[in-house]
Amino acid sequence: MKKFAKTWMFVFGALAVMGLMAPTGATAVEEIKIGVIYPLTGGAAAAGRELRAGAELAAEIANNVMPDLPMTMARNSGVKSLGGAKIKLIFKDHEGNPTIGADQAKKLILDDKVDGILGCYFSSVTKTVSAVCEQYGIPMINGSSTSPSLTQRGFKWFWRTTPHDKWFTKDLFELLVGLTEGKVKGVAAVPKEEIMNLASACEKTEWGSHVSGLIQDFAREYGFNLKKSLLYAAKSADLSSEVRSLKASRADVMLFASYTSDAILMVKTLHAQKARPKIIWGQDAGFEKPEFRETLGDSINGILTRTVFLPKVVEIKKLAGQVNALYKKQTGNDLGGASARAFTGLQTWVAVLEKAGSTKPDAIQAAANSLYIPGKELVVPWQGIKFSTSGDELGQNVLGSGLIGQYQKGKDGNIGLEIVYPFDVSSADMIFPFAGF
């Protein structure tokens, strides 16, 4: 029966599309439908709730006049160039499943006739959904999937606002160079010889081995000496020979791409082996999880991790603080990496529509490709939003950047992340060198 209904819906959908193709006169748009696909149930449901709340808040700001907020979409009620048309979000749940995600995208396009799509958090789902959008010629903006390959497919209807792993790894090398140039807050210029030797250990699935390759490339490009580059199984129960090998390389900087339990095991083993590199840096994931902090306690004081959004941003960026206050009023929580990027994703949608002045896909495409949002209008600490329109990263925002946080013991005795990169938003003096365990 269900299948029967589905078939009928498909037939109706197809008929509806045919109906759309019939020439119609230009009509005033009253509302703009954006389909939003997130993991609203399943293992990532908590992240899904955050994402949804972030997108909803951005829609609310776009649809109402909020003169206090220094951003374009807050000054107008709805999309001004479209006669004040309101943004309407239609949420769908992909349950973390790429196939369900693609189905939902088809439904949104054929049944709900959305003007565009926002989503999908999981890189794997973003991959299938963007393929559907590409097939139907419907624009899609992605706010929070970081697999580099997503923008390397030459898609013409896909734009990504968040920076991806390549940028994050580059950030690290910028930080190292910044250290030698004395740009880091609270640290005098360090001679390059002192942080010349690097060693990396990454987990060996697609993500970690990719990061490992990036580290090798950037080390060469920035003139650092990568003494050792290891891959290990994230399910390893013991990493002592890996750690001994890292130690034997006498590296000054140790770099890791680890999931949660292996990140904890790695740091524990470094601790037990009394490793004393000057810098320990983790590529997000395990190094940023609450368990990492809870399990390892004070011993992580001084460890660095890349991230995309930290509560500290709110203290430094006025706009982020204002939006955070609104967000907190509605949800009771602070903005996080997921919600801040979902907010920015929808904000980008509004800016694109404002610029396009039309809901025709071609107009939206042209507007997105020439879009520029300055960094001061964003809650995230980026230089802005501007999409690449040529080269091998079609549709990637080129003005994004990650953050590098450092675990520091605060005055209240709790370990928290302070921003040390980018330098202009750093929230505390960097601890350098790492004091050892």
Partner 1 sequence: MDILVGSVFAGLLIGMILALVALGLTIIFGVMDIVNFAHGEFLMIGMYTGLLTAQGLGIDPLFTLPVAAAVGFLLGVICYFGFIKFLLRGPMVAQLLGTFGLMLFLRNLALLIFGSEDRAVHSGILVGKSFDVGMGIIVPATKLAAAGLSVAAFLGVWLLMNRTKVGKALTATALNAQGARYMGIPTERMNALAWGVGGASVTIAGALLVNFWSVNPFIGLLFTMIAFAIVALGGFGSIPGAFFAGLVVGIITEIPGFWDFFSYTFDAEWMMNVPMTSFKYMWVYVAYFVIVVLRPRGLFGWKQ
Applying CB under 8 A, the residues found at the interface with partner 1 are 204, 227-232, 235, 237-238, 240-242, 244-245, 248-249, 261-262, 264-265, 268, 271-274, 295, 299
CA end-to-end span of the chain: 63
CB neighbours of residue 248 within 10 Å: 11
Please identify, using beta-carbon distances, which residue of 182 and 297 lies nearer to partner 1: 297
The dihedrals phi and psi of 7, each to the nearest 5 degrees, come to -60, -45
Q: What gap in Å lies between CA 144 and CA 118, rounded to an integer?
A: 10
Look up residue 81 and give its amino acid: S
Contact 308, 336 (CB under 8 A): no
Closest to partner 1 by CB, 58 or 234: 234
CB of 225 to partner 1, least distance (A): 11
Q: How far is the CB of 276 from partner 1 (least distance, A)?
A: 11
Structure tokens at 132: 């559907």
Looking at the Cβ atoms of 230 and 380, the one nearer to partner 1 is 230
With respect to partner 1, which residue has the nearer C-beta, 81 or 245?
245
> Residue 239 or residue 356: which is nearer to partner 1 going by CB?
239
In the complex, the smallest distance separating the C-beta of residue 289 from partner 1, rounded to whole angstroms, is 12
Q: Quick one: tokens of 36?
A: 């939003």
Question: Could you tell me the maximum CA-CA distance found in the chain, to the nearest angstrom?
Answer: 74
Q: Residue 253 pairs with which residues in a beta bridge?
A: 198, 279
Q: How far is the CB of 260 from partner 1 (least distance, A)?
A: 9
Q: Which is nearer to partner 1, 224 or 343 (CB)?
A: 224
Helix or strand or coil: residue 364? Answer: helix
Nearer to partner 1 (CB atom), residue 197 or residue 322: 197
Q: Please, which residue, 226 or 380, has the CB nearer to partner 1?
A: 226
| Residue 288: closest CA among 405, 155, 400 | 405
Q: Which is nearer to partner 1, 175 or 296 (CB)?
A: 296
Residue 67, Cβ density class (10 Å: 0-12 exposed, 13-18 middle, ≥19 buried): exposed
Closest approach, Cβ 253 to partner 1, in A, equals: 16
C-beta of 274: minimal distance to partner 1 in Å? 6
Write out the two tokens for 387: 């999409």
C-alpha distances in Å from residue 155, one per residue of 23, 104, 185, 401: 28, 20, 40, 22
Task: Return the number of other C-beta atoms located less than 10 Å from residue 38's C-beta.
Answer: 32
Cβ at position 231, least distance to partner 1 in Å: 6
Cβ–Cβ under 8 Å, residues 403 and 422: yes
Round to whole Å and give the CA distance between 6 and 150.
30
Strand 197-203 relative to strand 158-160: parallel, antiparallel, unpaired?
A: unpaired
Please state the closest distance from residue 232 (CB atom) to partner 1, in A: 7
Q: For residue 340, what are its two tokens? A: 């801040």
Which residues are within 8 A (CB) of 191 and not within 5 positions of it... i.e. 6 or more apart? Answer: 180
Q: Which is nearer to partner 1, 43 or 154 (CB)?
A: 43
We find the least distance from the C-beta atom of residue 88 to partner 1, in angstroms, to be 40
Distances (CA, A) of 198 to 127, 422, 429, 431: 33, 21, 23, 18
Least CB distance to partner 1 at residue 190 (A): 25
Nearest to 186 by CA among 433, 435, 406, 428: 428
Instruction: CB nearer to partner 1: give 192 or 268.
Output: 268
State the minimum distance, in angstroms, from the CB of residue 385 to partner 1: 37
Distances (CA, A) of 240 to 93, 148, 257, 273: 42, 31, 17, 8
